[in-house]
A and B are shown apart, each in its own frame.
Chain A
Amino acid sequence: MPTVAGDQGAARGPLIGVLALQGDVREHLAALAAAGAVPTTVRRPDELAAVDGLVIPGGESTTMSKLAVLFGMLEPLRSRVRAGMPVYGTCAGLILLAEKILDPRSGQETVGGIDMIVRRNAFGRQNESFEAAVDVVGVGAVDGVFIRAPWVESVGAEVEVLAEHGGHVVAVRQGSALATAFHPELTGDHRLHGFFTEMVRSAG
């Protein structure tokens, strides 16, 4: 079987990183693998430089932002996102992709990439965390798991709204940047990760 190595090379999915400063990294790695990508963790600038696309996972947005500054990841993230690297943020990741946060914690930085203003913990504290079906443009109905979730308060003209819940924007796309306020990585439904993997593939 001398051709196997070559075939695998041709069929191999894009290398997609998961920012692993903190948060539900393992679930995203599993969802990306199931969606046909080659997943890897990213904690350092050289690891970031190697990937074709990046997922910013759920976690605590203030913590993740502080760690990104502390470990010299903020500027490398900004420059790669600005240069058009496909990126997908869930929950805390959505907050990090916003140009502006309403009521940010002092010194809370974002990566940016999507022209939107977000409200943190907009749906409430943990007791208000919920599940509900959400219709996502281009993907269909998915189980939305919202955990102390943010929503998108307003978007710029370039931003496409992909989903709403209760009258609030909860999924958006601007060019190669995708973001959801909910956590598809917790559901075992890999369609959104498949959608993102396709974005990465077509950008490559």
Chain B
Amino acid sequence: MSSTLIPTSQTPETGTARVKRGMAEQLKGGVIMDVVTPDQAKIAEDAGAVAVMALERVPADIRKDGGVARMSDPDMIEGIIEAVSIPVMAKSRIGHFVEAQVLQSLGVDYIDESEVLTPADEVNHSDKWAFTTPFVCGATNLGEALRRIAEGAAMIRSKGEAGTGNVVEAVRHLRQIKNEIARLRGYDNNELYAAAKELRAPYEIVKEVAELGKLPVVLFSAGGVATPADAALMRQLGAEGVFVGSGIFKSGDPAKRAAAIVKATTFYDDPKIVADASRNLGEAMVGINIDTLPASEHYANRGW
């Protein structure tokens, strides 16, 4: 840094709520793609992804392989950071604040405290205020989203059911969150205290949501998006952007599908463009019917 100082400049402050939440605002309208190699990261960037999620195995493979799923190898994450100029996110286990510390030290741009990995703590999520790096967390309903925000999450995504290629759970979670926000809008001040108790979330945040009519942070959708129409559906339902996990690199032609999902996410309200984006994409990922999954393999039930 040069020694020239503007007289009114205070000491720059990093890791503020505005800087963390503001980062997610910049991703709005975009697609964040799961990638497992630097080459996949470049394909994602070239297709117009706003960010990539660096991980060792996409959720579909985590399901297939079983066992404990953990934070990815730092070498692998650094390889992806070097390969692209768009932001790089990475996942820590729920409550595994040391994995989060490691990810922060690697310089990732966002940490996903994710139910896709095996939880490390059955009671507590990480204290996300303690970090400079912002966090995104999954939620299945409004109370869960607000508890994560209370812990410092700067971005929320629906959980959906990752690695299934089935959008039904993402739809359920997003509708649930939107409906609960709409209900709060209708409450008067007397009712907000009981609502906070019911939601098991701090009153101040509940009141803020009631006033804003939206979460105080950006809301994306995740978990089961596999086609351009899925992405457009989530946008029309109110998601400000989408995460696509296994849906791209488990399909027949990842580069083409990635670009198509980006296109449909931008022009989510134009069926002609979504139709064009849906043509000749080759094989979609096969997908799983959620009700054939044993309860222990429902990732959305992880976290509380």
**A residues neighboring B (CB under 8 Å):** 20-27, 43, 58-60, 62-63, 66-67, 70-71, 91-92, 105, 120-121, 125-135, 141, 145-148, 163-168, 183, 186-187
Top 10 closest pairs, chain A to chain B, by CB: A167-B2, A167-B4, A126-B109, A130-B12, A24-B25, A22-B29, A132-B12, A129-B19, A66-B48, A60-B50
Segment among B119-127, B195-203, B262-270 that sits at the interface with chain A: B262-270
* Selected contact of B4 from candidates A62, A120, A164, CB within 8 Å: A164
Given contacts A67-B48, A148-B109, 16 further A-B contacts (CB under 8 A): A21-B29, A23-B26, A60-B50, A60-B86, A67-B262, A70-B259, A125-B87, A126-B87, A126-B108, A126-B110, A127-B109, A127-B133, A133-B10, A166-B2, A166-B5, A167-B1
Q: A145 — which chain B residues lie within 8 A by C-beta?
A: 18-19, 22
Cα-based distance from A131 to B15 in the complex (angstroms)? 9
B28 & A23 in contact (Cβ 8 Å cutoff): yes
Cα-based distance from A8 to B299 in the complex (angstroms)? 55
* Selected contact of A60 from candidates B4, B5, B15, B87, CB within 8 Å: B87
Q: Do A126 and B86 contact each other (CB < 8 Å), given the known contacts A66-B48, A133-B9, A164-B6?
A: no
Q: List 9 A-B contacts (CB under 8 A).
A: A22-B30, A59-B28, A60-B87, A62-B45, A91-B26, A105-B85, A132-B9, A134-B8, A166-B4
A60 & B51 in contact (Cβ 8 Å cutoff): yes
Q: Give the residue among B29, B51, B108 with the most A Cβ atoms within 10 A.
A: B29
Give residues of chain B (1-49) contacting chain A, Cβ–Cβ below 8 Å: 1-16, 18-19, 22-23, 25-30, 45-46, 48-49
A127 & B104 in contact (Cβ 8 Å cutoff): yes
Cα-based distance from A163 to B9 in the complex (angstroms)? 11
Q: A127 — which chain B residues lie within 8 A by C-beta?
A: 14-15, 104, 107, 109, 132-133
A63 & B49 in contact (Cβ 8 Å cutoff): yes
Q: A43 — which chain B residues lie within 8 A by C-beta?
A: 266-267
Cα-based distance from A43 to B29 in the complex (angstroms)? 12
Cα-based distance from A160 to B86 in the complex (angstroms)? 30
B134 at the binding interface (Cβ < 8 Å) = yes
A66 to chain B, nearest CB (A): 5
* Selected contact of A134 from candidates B9, B13, B16, B46, CB within 8 Å: B9
Q: Do A130 and B49 contact each other (CB < 8 Å), given the known contacts A58-B25, A183-B22?
A: no
Q: Which residue of B lies closest to A182 (CB)?
A: B22
B22 & A186 in contact (Cβ 8 Å cutoff): yes
A-B interface pairs (CB < 8 A), number: 147
Report the interface size for chain B: residues with CB under 8 A from the other chain: 48
A70 & B4 in contact (Cβ 8 Å cutoff): no
* Selected contact of B266 from candidates A71, A121, A132, CB within 8 Å: A71
Cα-based distance from A187 to B17 in the complex (angstroms)? 12
B33 to chain A, nearest CB (A): 12
The DSSP consensus for interface residues of chain A is mixed
Q: A146 — which chain B residues lie within 8 A by C-beta?
A: 12, 19
B6 & A23 in contact (Cβ 8 Å cutoff): no
Q: B7 — which chain A residues lie within 8 A by C-beta?
A: 135
Q: A120 — which chain B residues lie within 8 A by C-beta?
A: 85
* Selected contact of B23 from candidates A22, A67, A126, A135, CB within 8 Å: A126
A132 & B13 in contact (Cβ 8 Å cutoff): yes
Q: A26 — which chain B residues lie within 8 A by C-beta?
A: 28
Q: A131 — which chain B residues lie within 8 A by C-beta?
A: 12-13, 16, 18-19
Interface string of B191-228 (1 = CB under 8 A from A): 00000000000000000000000000000000000000
B135 to chain A, nearest CB (A): 11
B25 & A186 in contact (Cβ 8 Å cutoff): yes
A24 to chain B, nearest CB (A): 4
A22 & B14 in contact (Cβ 8 Å cutoff): no
* Selected contact of A58 from candidates B4, B26, B85, B107, CB within 8 Å: B26
Cα-based distance from A92 to B45 in the complex (angstroms)? 16
A130 & B13 in contact (Cβ 8 Å cutoff): yes
Q: A63 — which chain B residues lie within 8 A by C-beta?
A: 30, 48-50, 86, 262
B4 & A125 in contact (Cβ 8 Å cutoff): no
A148 & B2 in contact (Cβ 8 Å cutoff): no
Q: B11 — which chain A residues lie within 8 A by C-beta?
A: 132
B218 to chain A, nearest CB (A): 9
Give residues of chain B (37-84) contacting chain A, Cβ–Cβ below 8 Å: 45-46, 48-51
A54 to chain B, nearest CB (A): 17
A45 to chain B, nearest CB (A): 14
Cα-based distance from A166 to B10 in the complex (angstroms)? 11
B26 & A147 in contact (Cβ 8 Å cutoff): yes
A22 & B266 in contact (Cβ 8 Å cutoff): yes
Cα-based distance from A130 to B18 in the complex (angstroms)? 9
